[in-house]
Amino acid sequence: MESFLERLSGRTAASGQLAIESLFVAHPSSLFFETDTTVLITFVGEPTSVSIAGDANNWSPIAEPLTRLEGTTFWWRRLEYESDARLDYKLVLNGVTWILDPANKRTSVGGFGPNSELRMPGYVDHPEIYEQPGIPRGTLVDTTVYSDGLGNERRIVLYLPPEYDRNRDSVGLIVVHDGIEFITLAGMPVILDNLIAAGSIPPVIAVFIPPVDRSAEYAGARMHDFGAFVSDEIVPGLAARYRIKDDPAMRVVMGASNGGNISLFMAMRYPGLFGNVAAFSSNVVEDISARFGRPPSLPLSIYLDIGRYDIPVLLPKVRSLVSELSDRGYSFKYNEFPEGHSWTNWKTHIDDALLFLLPRRDE
């Protein structure tokens, strides 16, 4: 691409424009990978400005402007990332109009709609996130729960593992915060189907719980009330109706961002109920980090990860917690991935968490 840009710079406007059109016929994508770590992001059009906003610049609409090749409608910017990076982004036209990259067919789902997706050449996909033909499927059961303690009502969804009704064995339990999004945006039931079918984890029931007042319940004034709702209402209610193992080592509480914070809080507060916690790109309020940093250590296994292009304020919080866990000798696994604060990131690494926390054990 460097030689192409150099050749264009010596052409007339008309011949340069024709060369650009020919280039995109031969290479109908906005992304040109010069090396495993270098990508040229391009755009063809006539706005007054074009910039990239995404995970890599904390979604700034001005931090990474594209350059227009004089006399043409061709815009470009060269960027360097890790060879296995995966990032969400949008193009910002004229400083105000946010669009998907029209010449990039890859998109990634998000809480605010789809984004364009950049996968560097070394990125490795996880097959567990895709439906596999011919394997048994779990069952989703919708219900509504009213909480006396919280004074509110919410929809929850249960995942029952394949052949649950035919098998009389008790199974493990996963409590998932931001539960509806973990179904619709992260496709977690498909991941559970695949891991169970492969024998990678034992059969589990998962309960997908959404928030009603997310900030207060997950990281604010209602954390204790919400924790009691799960520990005193949800889990006993499930245990009374379904065959769930009464063993903290077979129970996981998990979530992302503030959902990771409430997961860490619940594992800290109820270690006799949950022996495992997974927190993706987690907020970590100060009291939680402090408790994990002082004796006695809790009987927990902990999975943490975060993106290197995540929300900047979260990175030191998670790294500080990792240091506390290491100093106290906790059983934990920690990953930093060259990704951002995104549902595709969390979706892709659900299997990493569950393979660490719930490995299949021969009985």
How many CA atoms lie within 13 Å of 125's alpha carbon, on the beta-carbon side? 6
Per the rule left: phi > 0, alpha: psi between -120 and 50, beta: everything else, 257 is left
Tens-place pLDDT, residues 155-178: 999 999 999 988 889 999 999 999
Tens-place pLDDT, residues 41-71: 999 999 999 999 999 999 999 999 999 988 8
How many CA atoms lie within 13 Å of 330's alpha carbon, on the beta-carbon side? 30
Indicate the DSSP class of residue 163: T
Q: List the domains of the chain with CATH numbers.
A: 2-124 (2.60.40.10), 128-357 (3.40.50.1820)
Total residues found in the chain within this entry: 363
- Identify the three-state secondary structure at position 39: strand
Tens-place pLDDT, residues 193-234: 999 999 999 999 999 999 999 999 999 999 999 999 999 999
Tens-place pLDDT, residues 112-154: 899 999 999 999 999 999 999 999 999 999 999 999 999 999 9
